[in-house]
Amino acid sequence: MAWTQTDTDALERAIADGRGARTITFSDQSITFGSIPEMLQLLAAMKAAVATAAGTSTTRYAAFSKGV
């Protein structure tokens, strides 16, 4: 499924709501979550997919130094 910014916003609202909404309906499917960490994990994946689709993905590089 291709995620949209609208889907991301809906999930963020459900997480912030705090009333324990565990089932969220996106355009054509419903997802039931067992916990907030599961919701946060999907939110991170959704944000990455939306950023990639928009061409604004972030790349991080590690840097190491021997301290010499």
Please report, as a single letter, which amino acid is at residue 3.
W
Mean of pLDDT values over 33-47: 90
Q: What's the pLDDT at 60?
A: 74
pLDDT band at 41 (very low <50, low <70, confident <90, very high): very high
Task: State mean pLDDT over 43-61.
Answer: 80
User: In whole angstroms, what is the distance from residue 53 CA to residue 51 CA?
Assistant: 5
Is the pTM higher than 0.75? no
Phi/psi for 20 (5° steps) reads 85, 25
Distance CA 23, CA 26 (A): 10
User: What's the CA angle centered on 20, arms 15 and 25, to 5 degrees?
Assistant: 65
Is it the case that residue 42 has pLDDT exceeding 70? yes
- Cα 33 to Cα 35: distance, rounded to the nearest angstrom: 6
pLDDT at 57 over 70: no
Query: In the chain, which ranges are E strands?
Result: 23-26, 29-32
